[in-house]
Amino acid sequence: MRSAAARTVRAIPTLLRIGLAETVAYRAEFIVWILTTTMPLIMLGLWTTVADEGPFQAYRSEDFVAYYLAMLIVRNLTGSWVAWQVSEEIRLGTMSMRLLRPLHPMVAFATSHLAAIPFRGLIAIPVAVALLVSSGASALTHDPAQLALLIPSIALGWIIGFACLFALGCLAFLVTQTSAIGNIYFTLFGILSGYLLPLDLLPSWISRVAACTPFPSMLGTPVRLLVHPMARGDALELLAIQGAWAVGAIALALTAWRVGLRRYEAVGA
Partner 1 sequence: MIRARDLTKHFRVHKRGSGLAAALKSVVRRKYELVKAVDGVSFEIQRGERVGFLGPNGAGKTTTLKVLSGLLHPTSGEVEVEGFVPFRRAPELLSAITLVMGQKSQLIWDLPPADTYAMNRAVFDVPQEAFERALKELTELLELGDLVTKPTRQLSLGERMKCELAAALLHGPTTLFLDEPTIGLDVAMQLAIRDFVRDYNQRHEATVLLTSHYMDDVVALCPRIIVIDQGKLIHDGDLRALVKQTDPDKRVSFTLVTPRADDELVKLGAILKREGQRATLRVGEKDLPAVVGHLLGEWKATDLAIEDPPLEEILRVMFGKAREGREASS
The CB-of-14 to partner 1 minimum distance in angstroms stands at 4
Amino acid, res. 252: L
Q: Is 103 in the site for partner 1 (CB under 8 A)?
A: yes
Binds partner 1 by CB under 8 A, chosen from 100, 142, 203, 205: 100
Helices (H), the chain: 4-25, 27-36, 39-51, 61-78, 82-92, 95-99, 105-135, 144-170, 179-192, 204-211, 215, 221-227, 232-261
Closest by Cα among 154, 15, 173, 153 to 90: 173
Least separation in angstroms between residue 99's CB and partner 1 is 5
Tell me which of 33, 56, 185, 264 binds partner 1, using CB under 8 A. Answer: 264
Determine, following the binding rule CB under 8 A, whether residue 180 of this chain makes contact with partner 1: no
Q: Does 269 bind partner 1 (CB under 8 A)?
A: yes
Among 246, 245, 223, 247, smallest CA distance to 235 is for 223
d(CA 52, CA 42): 16
Q: Indicate the residue among 102 and 233 with the shorter CB distance to partner 1.
A: 102
**Residues in contact with partner 1, shown as a per-residue x/- string from 10 to 39 under the rule CB under 8 A:** xx-xxx-xx--xx--xx-------------
Name which position in 38, 94, 135, 213 contacts partner 1 (CB under 8 A): 94
Please state, in angstroms and rounded to a whole number, the distance separating the CA atoms of residues 74 and 68.
Answer: 10
Residue from 98, 102, 104, 88 nearest 254 by CA: 104
* Partners of 59 in the β-ladder: 56
Per CB under 8 A, the list member of 101, 179, 208, 251 interacting with partner 1 is: 101
Backbone angles phi, psi at 215, to 5 degrees: -60, -45
Asked if 231 interacts with partner 1 (CB under 8 A), we say no
Q: State which residue, 17 or 232, has the beta carbon closest to partner 1.
A: 17
CB of 77 to partner 1, least distance (A): 25
Q: How far is the CB of 144 from partner 1 (least distance, A)?
A: 38
234's CB contacts (< 8 A; 6+ apart) are none
Per rule CB under 8 A, is residue 259 in the interface with partner 1?
Answer: no
Residues of this chain that bind partner 1 (CB under 8 A): 1-2, 4, 7, 10-11, 13-15, 17-18, 21-22, 25-26, 93-94, 96-97, 99-103, 261-262, 264-266, 268-269
